[in-house]
A and B are shown apart, each in its own frame.
Chain A
Amino acid sequence: MFEARLVQGNLLKKVLESLKDLLTEASWDCADTGIQLQAMDNSHVSLVSVQLRADGFDKFRCDRQLSMGMNLTSMSKILRCAANDDIITIKAQDQADNVTFVFESPNQEKVADYEMKLMNLDQEHLGIPETDYAAVIKLPAAEFQRIIKDLSQFGESVVISCTKEGVKFSAAGDIGVGNIKLAQTASVDKEEEAVTIEMQEPVTLTFACRYLNMFTKATCLAPQVTLSMSPEVPLVVEYKIGDMGHVRYYLAPKIED
């Protein structure tokens, strides 16, 4: 028996919004420690890793490990039937071929349940090496979204360059060149408005705008986003899911021939 109840159901709605453009199907791996998802997009350029810890749920029961393969487009359609303040419960029997989503209004006066077929997905899991990143940049998630949106007008790629002075985002194309520089904030009233940079060595990498734009669908999840970069390795873009986990996107860089 698997059952996970989340009073803050809108977190799950937001997680799905942040996945559905990148992935059409994926497996949710459930264990007594929580729920995890790891999947690459079809082109193997990006990977999404989601973690939802058991202790972040209001009730969590997972008697035996199970992998629930889901069509994320369908799951997203179902979650869109939940109101933002609904309590969401996910339920499945052991070795079941379907999953049930229950949405309860806060006053318990409306209860809806939706059943969805599970899929048998033969998914390969990737081992992501532990990496000490050369530069770790934290910035407001909305600011990052804006920068990527703005620079996407100029070209297909964004160059992210991190130095002691700050971080620079650049794009070039037919209409011209765009550069956006962010300095580390000296002092801020609110922690979530800060730009912080931890840098061991300067890094410059080039990434496809198309993917970065899809990652920013997770902006609704967290006030801050963390970018981790090292020379010639994939970028990590991380959004926290409340205090229960994270959505992490990995993106392979563009490499000079």
Chain B
Amino acid sequence: MSRQATLDTFFAVR
């Protein structure tokens, strides 16, 4: 099974 990642994991809040 795969799960949907979110962008928060990859991009930091500026």
Contacts and interface: CB of A to CB of B under 8 A. Distances in A.
Interface of A: 40, 43-47, 124-129, 157, 206, 208, 233-234, 250, 252-257
B5 to A, nearest CB: 4
10 contacts: A43-B6, A44-B6, A45-B6, A46-B7, A126-B12, A126-B13, A206-B2, A233-B10, A255-B2, A257-B2
Contacts of A250: 7, 11
Nearest to A255: B5
A129 B7 CA distance: 12
Given A46-B7, A47-B7, A255-B2, 7 more contacts: A125-B13, A126-B11, A126-B12, A206-B2, A233-B10, A253-B5, A257-B2
Contacts of B4: 45, 208, 252, 254-255
B14 A254 contact: no
B8 to A, nearest CB: 6
Interface of B: 1-14
A157 B5 CA distance: 13
B14 A252 contact: no
Contact of A252 (B1, B6, B12, B13): B6
Contacts of A253: 5
Nearest to A254: B2
Contacts of B12: 126-127
B2 A128 contact: no
Contacts of A252: 4-7, 9-10
